[in-house]
């Protein structure tokens, strides 16, 4: 199919997938979505760059178009993820809970897609529980996500990576640096052999830098964080740029001065708001 502008829908889908989960996370402006799956990819890609207004708009349209089944579930999970990125864990929990219900709803449920949606929702709920200090609940949800993923014939690499991220974050929250580092290093390994998602590779290094801090290996943490910060600038990953600058503000940088780190952090926070995001005020 060719659009009126002469661009094939296959090309649009490929470009959006590359921006969301591939080699071009900084691709902007994104092509216009013409179907629900493209809307989801466009929302994921926009959210990774901090274009929250665009991402929210695409997800709202997607939820109007698809009201049940795995894709509707993914729309809710992604909404929860966008909220959680800015600190709204309690609000995100409602979206992720609804995502879990929708993942197995009758309309549109078709095996592998249903598993992907269910695991995404479980991981989101685990991250929400972690952010709310409900560590035992987070661990239980992660176990459910891992068990569901392990039993799947096709295991999307991004989900296995996400399980490792949240597992590392849970270990950090409970002061277990060795376990945090094990999960963070595993996420880096999985991301390195994944289908080319630069965003997942950078995020894995963000988690690794934090885990190294938890394990009292600050010099290594600075090295990893400095490298990842440079990558966020090259790829336009504004939310991750803010997270890394916030970390480096606490542990110091080998590459950037203290004022430079603060400037990067504050500029990223400003850009997030400019692009439609709202930081949690509690």
Least confident of 100-109, 142-151, 158-167, 198-207: 100-109
pLDDT tens per residue across span 164-222: 999 999 999 999 999 999 999 999 999 999 868 999 999 999 999 999 999 999 999 99
**Contact criterion met (CB below 8 Å) for 16 and 54:** no
- Provide the whole-model pTM: 0.94
Confidence of residue 154 (pLDDT cuts 50, 70, 90): confident
**What pLDDT, on the 0 to 100 scale, is given for residue 155?**
73
Percentage above 70 pLDDT, the chain: 94
Least confident of 34-38, 66-70, 79-83, 154-158: 154-158
pLDDT tens per residue across span 232-263: 999 999 999 999 999 999 999 999 999 999 99
Three-state DSSP class for 2? strand
Does 128 have pLDDT greater than 70?
A: yes
Question: Token match 């409602």: residue?
Answer: 94
Does 46 have pLDDT greater than 90?
A: yes
Q: Give the mean pLDDT of 25-42.
A: 97
Tokens of 8: 């094939």
Chain CA centroid to CA 262, Å: 24
Compute the distance between CA of residue 146 and CA of residue 162 in angstroms, rounded to an integer.
Answer: 10
Compute the distance between CA of residue 36 and CA of residue 66 in angstroms, rounded to an integer.
Answer: 7
């Amino acid at each position: 199919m060719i659009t009126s502008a002469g661009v094939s829908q296959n090309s649009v889908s490929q470009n959006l997938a590359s921006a969301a989960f591939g080699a071009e996370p900084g691709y902007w402006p994104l092509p216009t979505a013409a179907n629900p799956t493209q809307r989801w990819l466009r929302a994921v890609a926009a959210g990774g760059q901090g274009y929250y207004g665009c991402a929210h708009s695409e997800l709202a349209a997607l939820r109007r178009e698809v009201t049940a089944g795995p894709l509707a579930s993914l729309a809710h999970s992604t909404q929860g993820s966008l909220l959680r990125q800015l600190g709204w864990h309690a609000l995100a929990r409602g979206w992720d809970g609804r995502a879990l219900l929708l993942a197995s709803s009758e309309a549109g449920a078709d095996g592998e897609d249903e598993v992907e949606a269910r695991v995404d929702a479980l991981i989101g709920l685990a991250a929400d529980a972690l952010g709310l200090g409900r560590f035992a609940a987070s661990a239980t949800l992660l176990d459910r996500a891992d068990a569901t993923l392990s039993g799947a014939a096709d295991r999307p690499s991004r989900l296995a990576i996400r399980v490792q991220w949240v597992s590392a974050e849970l270990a950090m929250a409970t002061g277990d640096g060795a376990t945090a580092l094990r999960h963070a290093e595993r996420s880096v390994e999985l991301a390195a052999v994944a289908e080319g998602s630069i965003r997942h590779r950078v995020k894995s290094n963000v988690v690794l830098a934090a885990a190294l801090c938890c394990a009292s290996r600050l010099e290594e943490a600075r090295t990893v964080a400095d490298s990842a910060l440079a990558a966020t600038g090259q790829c336009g990953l504004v939310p991750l740029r803010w997270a890394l600058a916030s970390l480096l503000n606490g542990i110091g940088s080998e590459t950037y001065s203290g004022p430079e780190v603060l400037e990067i952090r504050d500029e990223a926070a400003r850009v997030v708001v400019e692009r439609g995001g709202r930081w949690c005020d509690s």
